[in-house]
Amino acid sequence: MVKTVLDKGWLAARSTEVEINGVQLTTTQPPTQPLNSPWMEAAVPGTVLGTLLKNKLIPDPFYGLGNESIIDIADSGREHYTFWFFTTFECKLSNNQHVDLNFRAINYSAEVYLNGHKKVLPKGMFRRHSIDITDILHPDGQNLLAVLVYPPDHPGRIPPEGGQGGDHEIGKDVAAQYVEGWDWMTPIRDRNTGIWDEVSITVTGPVKIVDPHLASSFFDGYKRVYLHSTVELVNKNALVAECSLNIQVSTELQDGTFLVEHLETQHVSISAGATIHYTFPQLYFYKPNLWWPNSMGKQHLYNVEITVNVKGYGESDSWSHHFGFRKIESHIDSATGGRLFKVNDQPIFIRGGNWILSDGLLRLSKERYKTDIRFHADMNFNMMRCWGGGLAERPEFYHYCDLYGLLVWQEFWITGDCDGRGDPVSNPDGPLDHDLFLLCARDTIKLLRNHPSLALWVGGNEQVPPPDINAALKNDLQLHPYYLNSNSSGTSTIIPVIKDPSQYLDGTRVYVQGSMWDGFADGKGDFSDGPYEIQNPEDFFKHDYYQYAFNPEVGNVGMPVAATIRATMPPEGWQIPLFKKLSNGYIEEVPNPIWTYHKYIPYSKPEKVHDQILLYGKPKDLDDFCLKAQLVNYVQYRALLEGYTSQMWCKYTGVLIWKTQNPWTGLRGQIYDHLLDQTAGFYGCRSAAEPIHVQLNLATYSVEVVNTTSEELSNVSIEASVWDLEGECPYYKTSEKLIVPPKKTVSTFEMKYPKSKNPKPVYFLLLKLYDVSDNRIYSRNFYWLHLTGGDYKLLESFRERRPPLKITSLTFIKGSSYEMRMHIQNTSKKPDSNAPLYRNNFIRRNGSCDELDSAESFDLLDGEKHEISLYEKIRRNFSREHNKAKVSEVNGTGKGVAFFLHFSIHASKEENKKGEDTRILPVHYSDNYFSLVPGEVMTVTISFEVPPGVTPRVTLHGWNHHDVHTVL
């Protein structure tokens, strides 16, 4: 198969401004683009709003109050957002070749005109369309294509008070429901109308391959594994096709070298014009490399290629897909009542995030998906939930989840607010066309089912589908007998079954009817997820904090850094909230109107939680407010995950944060912002979700060790050191040797410092879990704490106590890709240089421990997880910029903790416009927002892409390094 993606050269025009029809557009009167023409450059894939923004015909809906200046479809009428899209393409066929025009998704329906011929694309946002255009191509190979795209049938109206899903009318269509607005999102004015996913033409011979299905079965403790595959074959000829059908399974070793594990050939005869389903004989593998979720093991992927050769023609079509051998199961745990997941027979404690979509204008790209998914892996997460009001995510999304080991919970397009609940109460019968919903669901299943990262299907968010749809989905997604029970005990023979697993629509993953049913939340569909706002950090650890075992949605704050506010809002949006004191002593935050519009969530909850930003003192300006917000973000998200992990398996089986990001420039519940800069909460999550982790239970003040791995942790010890604001260490303790069983959280000893004589009102606590035999660190965790009833206001004067730093950097460059290693040392005087504290200057990263004594050791984060040596990685991918490391000294005024340091990368320019955002984004940091005690050393690895012609500049900022230091 030869595939050509049509993603360039598109034009667009509003239908009411085009006076000719589709036949004329694609024959005698193709559009041009003169001045005053209705035609403009189009965003395809994309939406009408994206096209208008590209041509600067609307204000940026993501900037300030720009969205308020864009007319809503409810006021303009559907015609205003009904658009023509036009392009040309070359395609000239040889004998017995056939060509299809493919739309992977449009919203919501369309008319397609090609060289004067009309085809209709029926309704539905989540369905593929394929049109055989062989007989209507121009003989000279020059072809004209026009597509008239209609918005959803029921775009709805936004009530003055806003609300979840507007007036809920969008629920009558099979479309994304978030577009009418939510409490974290403003309405999308065109309701995402457009050709929003890939358009392509594919050329094949007489026989075409359609939607192969791959499945695997496991026996004898995963020593005996079978690959099952069924393929649909379409004979487009008027003659019988005698076919040689091949399946090849290979694995990449390194340097582009592939090892062929299996090659099987079968003969198939297909009648003229017929479509058949052919099931290959199962392929046997002995102990193949398994695919594991993030932090459980490696993401081994095999390449499966299927080709069909037709007698008298040659190769007619081919198809390939990455495939991972893994078995995923879930059931309701009898001990906790929560849903428990197992991968390859190993229980996995779920720590992940809720996901809406990458961008509200559907500007979806492989590059953005890669960053989004890698960010989740960087946080040590193992699951992403694709929320029912958003998208059926695209294959590129799943590709990167496969690579990075993120399990995916994929919901269908049902939400409580639009499908039976909400204010006003919405229609409980789902979309008007149930058959269309099921058609889209089945097509989505075929599109995504071969990805190992796909973990489960869920009927809807906080609601179940209507009974007939739910029953059909349960039937369509019933488990094959191989997947009903674990084979961990091993069997010597294959269980006899009627059908091969690959003959099922899916059959390998469980279907759950709703996000709060069957082991999630209370399991019965009552509103029992959340909460969604600021909390007292210690409350996360209390046994009565959350009643149920698996919380599918728990939210929190998400203020970004000040540079993001300035980049996404005009100056009137830079005003920080007013702090209004109430009669009960609590503070109410009053944000400016632009923050309110962008769904700002306060850092206080009167009558429950005192303002957490004011604990650090009243902020002076935007920079001060956002920096203090990052302190709170870190504390909140770390405590959230540590609180759940503290009661791992004894009370909880999993938790998903609401949400990890926003599909626009919102200020509510996010761990990184829409510009792809991380908040400090990102690194709080990264710390808390380590596979092996040491933590302080903020409710009991006991030190706990979390081991989520499958291996026992032995011969380890905990080092606890307390540091005051003067740089002294008034408390130091090492524990006895510990043994921590696999999949277990163990409480060790109680911290005695706050109960000792004359404790400091504000202090730092550094916990390290290390191997006694070689001082290797498994986990390092740094806290800032105050006495009960106190606050952090003493940290304000601590900002002037600036300890000296020494930063050694190595840089490797390949084209526009940079990899940097920043080796940071707090060079202020150590209280006792012989203490064990200074023997274990190691840092855990990506499951391995790197010694920091040598600045020449450099562990690259190449993002693709190839198993190659460090030397090969450097030699093959990068050239060293300098033979020697660069050293930067940051002078200080005294000893003490270097607190809350964070790097950022900027474009180095001779002249910057005032207020210009010079950040280079995205950037992947092995750690950020970190602190160093006197004498301590840490290494931070940084990777990023640089725009053409730009030289990067690395800066360091910190709480008590408030001047921005350029270190490279």
Give the SS3 label for residue 66: helix
- Report yes or no: 67 and 186 within 8 Å, Cβ to Cβ: yes
Query: Please, which residues bridge with residue 941 across strands?
Result: 821
**Residue of 553, 642, 704, 819 marked catalytic:** 553
**553: annotated active-site residue:** yes
Instruction: For residues 641 and 690, give the distance between their C-alpha atoms in angstroms, rounded to a whole number.
Output: 10
Instruction: For residues 562 and 575, give the distance between their C-alpha atoms in angstroms, rounded to a whole number.
Output: 11
Q: Where are the beta strands (DSSP E) in 167-240?
A: 199-204, 207-219, 224-235
- Report yes or no: 206 and 190 within 8 Å, Cβ to Cβ: no
Name the strand (E) or helix (H) holding 951. strand 951-958
Would you call the peptide bond into 922 cis, given omega within 30 degrees of 0 as the criterion?
A: yes
DSSP state of 164: T
First CA to last CA across the chain, in angstroms?
A: 49
**90: annotated active-site residue:** no
Query: Please, which residues bridge with residue 243 across strands?
Result: 268, 310
- Report yes or no: 716 and 737 within 8 Å, Cβ to Cβ: yes
Instruction: For residues 41 and 23, give the distance between their C-alpha atoms in angstroms, rounded to a whole number.
Output: 21
Choose among 540, 554, 751: nearest CA to 651: 540
Choose among 324, 329, 323, 325: nearest CA to 346: 329
- Report yes or no: 63 and 141 within 8 Å, Cβ to Cβ: no
Instruction: For residues 662 and 659, give the distance between their C-alpha atoms in angstroms, rounded to a whole number.
Output: 7
- Report yes or no: 267 and 301 within 8 Å, Cβ to Cβ: no
Choose among 351, 329, 483, 331: nearest CA to 406: 351
Choose among 319, 153, 340, 317: nearest CA to 241: 317
Residues in the chain: 968
Q: Is 571 exposed, middle or buried (0-12, 13-18, 19+ CB in 10 A)?
A: exposed
| Ramachandran assignment for 20, one of left (phi > 0), alpha (psi -120 to 50 degrees), beta (any other) | beta
714-718 CB contacts, 8 Å cutoff, 24+ apart: 714/738, 714/739, 714/740, 715/739, 715/771, 715/772, 715/773, 716/740, 716/769, 716/770, 716/771, 716/772, 716/778, 717/769, 717/770, 717/772, 718/694, 718/748, 718/749, 718/767, 718/768, 718/769, 718/770
Query: Would strands 275-279 and 224-235 be described as parallel, antiparallel, or unpaired?
Result: antiparallel
Instruction: For the chain, state the CA radius of gyration.
Output: 29
**Residue of 462, 642, 719, 819 marked catalytic:** 462
DSSP state of 504: S
* Upper half-sphere CA count for residue 636 (Cβ side, 13 Å): 32
- Report yes or no: 212 and 316 within 8 Å, Cβ to Cβ: no
Full 3-state SS string of 405-456: CCEEEEECCCECCCCCCCCCCCCCCCCCCHHHHHHHHHHHHHHHCCCCCEEE
Q: Which residue numbers are catalytic?
A: 462, 553
